[in-house]
């Protein structure tokens, strides 16, 4: 089983719908992140959380919200999806002692 | 704030040729530096990282990178390309705090797609 699991892997939704992307990890890390990948733009940070009671906005948080339900779970919500939120979304984890991040397999979201 | 620039969105090489992927960064303090690889329909996998110490860093699959502070660069190389190296490569940085640990948040470059021809 993957250390960082994202569900769903693929999703097509309609404009205006609310959608939640989920991430769970078994690495025991305290820090979790949501990134968005667009062609030619690399990955950009949406939100991050350093522990259960800590939520921080990243570079591109508008139109998104997150919830850290437990140390191992971090979900990303699009309250009212719009077409320019079509992208590949990655969840990642890290530990304050480690420098590297570990990524999930990604969720490909299409908003039509 | 830090930033990362990868020169060349697409690089094409022949099998057996040298691979050189360029990365330059901007940071107010010496950062931690990373190269990640993304194979089709997969997540990102760490190739190598520079934190402290030796500036020439060896990673997986025969890749290496050299941290050059004076040039603010962290270019990725591999002496001989293999067909299996075809993927997208990302350079990333994160700041280190006063205690030497990482701030955790990564800033990525735009990515370079490597194509390897037979």
Give residue for tokens 């908003």. Answer: A111
What phi, psi does B85 have (nearest 5°)?
Answer: -80, -10
In whole angstroms, how far apart are CA B43 and each of A4, A13, B76?
10, 22, 19
Q: What is the C-alpha separation between B22 and B24, in angstroms, rounded?
A: 7
Q: What is the C-alpha separation between A29 and B82, in angstroms, rounded?
A: 34
Q: Contact A105/B43, CB-based, under 8 Å? A: yes
Residue B96 reports pLDDT greater than 90: no
Nearest-neighbour CA in chain B from A80: distance (Å): 26
**CB atoms closer than 10 angstroms to residue B35:** 25
A94 contacts chain B (CB < 8 A): yes
HSE of A92 in the Cβ direction (CA atoms, 13 Å)?
Answer: 28
Of all residues in chain B, the one with the smallest CA distance to A40 is: B110
Q: Which of B6, B101, B106 sits opposite A101 (nearest CB)?
A: B106
- Tell me, what's the pLDDT at B113? 97
- Tell me, what's the pLDDT at A68? 96
The answer to whether residues B35 and B63 touch, using CB atoms and an 8 Å cutoff, is yes
Using DSSP, state whether B70 is helix, strand or coil.
Answer: helix
- Cα angle at A102 between A101 and A103, to 5 degrees? 115
Largest Cα–Cα distance in chain B? 48
Residue B32: name the closest of A101, A75, A83, A91 by CA. A101
List the 17-76 stretch of B: residues with Cβ below 8 A of A.
32, 34, 36, 42-46, 49, 51
Q: Contact B44/A45, CB-based, under 8 Å? A: no
Q: What is the pLDDT of residues B71-92, one digit of tens each?
A: 999 999 999 999 999 999 999 9
Q: What is the pLDDT of residues B34-51, one digit of tens each?
A: 999 999 888 999 999 998
Q: What is the C-alpha separation between B72 and A14, in angstroms, rounded?
A: 44
Average pLDDT of chain B, as a whole number:
92
Average pLDDT of chain A, as a whole number:
94
HSE of A98 in the Cβ direction (CA atoms, 13 Å)?
Answer: 14
Residue B98 reports pLDDT greater than 70: no
Q: What is the pLDDT of residues A82-99, one digit of tens each?
A: 999 999 999 999 987 767
């Amino acid at each position: 089983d993957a250390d960082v699991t994202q569900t769903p892997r693929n999703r097509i939704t309609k404009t205006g719908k609310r959608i939640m992307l989920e991430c769970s990890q078994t690495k025991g890390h305290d820090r979790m992140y949501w990134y968005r990948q667009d062609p030619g733009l690399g990955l950009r940070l949406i939100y991050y959380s350093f522990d259960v009671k800590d939520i921080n906005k990243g570079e591109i948080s508008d139109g998104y919200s997150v919830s850290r339900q437990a140390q191992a779970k971090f979900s990303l919500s699009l309250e009212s999806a719009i077409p320019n939120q079509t992208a590949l979304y990655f969840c990642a984890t890290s530990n304050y002692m480690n420098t590297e991040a570990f990524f999930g397999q990604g969720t490909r979201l299409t908003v039509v | 704030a830090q930033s990362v620039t990868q020169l060349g969105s697409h690089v094409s090489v022949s099998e057996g040729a040298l691979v050189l992927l360029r990365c330059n960064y901007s940071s107010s303090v010496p950062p931690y530096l990373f190269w990640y690889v993304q194979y089709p329909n997969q997540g990102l996998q760490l190739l190598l990282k520079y934190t402290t110490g030796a500036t020439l860093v060896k990673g997986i699959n025969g890749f290496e990178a050299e941290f050059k502070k004076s040039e603010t660069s962290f270019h990725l190389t591999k002496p001989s390309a293999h067909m299996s190296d075809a993927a997208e490569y990302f350079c990333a940085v994160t700041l280190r705090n006063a205690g030497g640990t990482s701030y955790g948040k990564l800033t990525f470059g735009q990515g370079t797609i490597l194509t390897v021809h037979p």
